Amino acid sequence: MIRYAVCALLFAPIAVFAADAGHGKQVFEQCAACHGAQGQGSDAAPPLVGVIGRKAGSVEEFRYSPAMKRSGLVWDQAALKSFVMNPQGVVKGTRMPFDGLRDEHDAEDVVAYLATLQ
């Protein structure tokens, strides 16, 4: 009996979190005040359409902080997740007035949403 219980535990399905772009769009609403409802950017924040794969601080029309310009970051999903969770921790001196998302799943979902804006 114990052998069957151990086998059942070993082969039980493992819950894997999959990012939810739909939920990320909802979470993104707090970012939309500056980045625009569709991530198109504004005077307050750069556009996020096409952000994945873009070098940080590289949109010509936006005035970035010196820290962002010299960060050397290229926005992949891992860098974006880290940044939305702790902007000042990733780019000390960024002008983004946001403390960051505290929930890791929310951050992953926002990044999944941003990936749809390509």
Q: What is the pTM of this model?
A: 0.83
Burial level of 39, CB count in 10 A (0-12/13-18/19+)?
buried
Residues 6+ apart with CB under 8 A from 40: 47, 49
Q: Which domains does the chain possess? A: 2-116 (1.10.760.10)
- Which tokens sit at 32? 């939309």
Residue located via tokens 């000042």: 88
pLDDT in tens, 52-110: 999 999 999 999 999 999 999 999 999 999 999 999 999 999 999 999 999 999 999 99
